[in-house]
């Protein structure tokens, strides 16, 4: 029995269930070049942020809604590199087999999230919260609070699985324990999470 047995699991998508780094980097690099922005700065600030939030930060002179559409289009065009992370399919399948509720709460838009889940061959969640559903993205708690609400459970009945410092902050701010996987960030940058583990296999041992 895991430490979080029975909790509703709210998964981040990119870097937790799917490896989309190649697609994200290619899309953001293309957008930065198109808009004359510093590529390194764009990539540095992108992790765990919505595209609108990123545009507001690195391109405040541009319309963030329009720029989010452009970023999404670039990332969709570079979507061939998306794949499921090791243990993702097995973990989701086992949660379903045990009747354990789970959802996906991502900073990506709805179109991108659905495409990545399909490309990676992962089951579709009963509840999917994307950047299109919220006013404030991570590190604000709104995405995870909305995930809990749509799952019909109190925040304290959830556990968040995240890979980014911003995402972990969002889960903590929502009043939820956070299992952070060090797949895209070093453990030192995730120290504010409840527990930091190496990969999804370790997450599975805690959840199941």
User: Beta strand pairing status for 178-181 and 195-197?
Assistant: parallel
C-alpha–C-alpha distance, residues 179 and 70, integer Å: 32
Helices (H), strands (E): how many in the chain?
A: 9, 8
* Cβ proximity of 49 and 106 under 8 Å: no
Handedness of CA 29, 144, 100, 164 (dihedral sign): positive
C-alpha dihedral (10, 190, 89, 3), degrees to nearest 10? -70
C-alpha–C-alpha distance, residues 168 and 153, integer Å: 19
Strand partners, 102: 9
| Active-site annotation, residues | 12, 14
């Amino acid at each position: 029995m895991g430490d979080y047995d029975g909790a509703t699991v709210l998964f981040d998508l990119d870097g937790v269930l799917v490896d989309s780094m190649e697609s994200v980097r290619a899309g953001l690099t293309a957008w930065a070049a198109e808009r004359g922005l510093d590529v390194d700065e764009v990539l540095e600030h992108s992790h765990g942020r919505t595209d609108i939030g990123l545009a507001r930060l690195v391109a405040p002179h541009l319309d963030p809604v329009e720029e989010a559409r452009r970023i999404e289009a670039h990332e969709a065009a570079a979507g061939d590199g998306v794949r499921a992370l090791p243990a993702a399919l097995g973990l989701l399948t086992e949660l379903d087999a045990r009747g354990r509720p789970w959802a996906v709460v991502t900073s990506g838009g709805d179109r991108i999230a659905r495409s990545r889940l399909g490309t990676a061959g992962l089951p579709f969640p009963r509840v999917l919260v994307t950047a299109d559903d919220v006013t404030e993205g991570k590190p604000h708690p709104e995405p995870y609070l909305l995930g809990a609400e749509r799952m019909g459970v109190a925040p304290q009945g959830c556990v968040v699985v995240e890979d980014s410092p911003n995402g972990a902050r969002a889960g903590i701010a929502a009043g939820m324990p956070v299992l952070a996987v060090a797949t895209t960030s070093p453990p030192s940058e995730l120290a504010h999470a409840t527990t930091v583990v190496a990969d999804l296999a370790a997450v599975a041992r805690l959840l199941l």
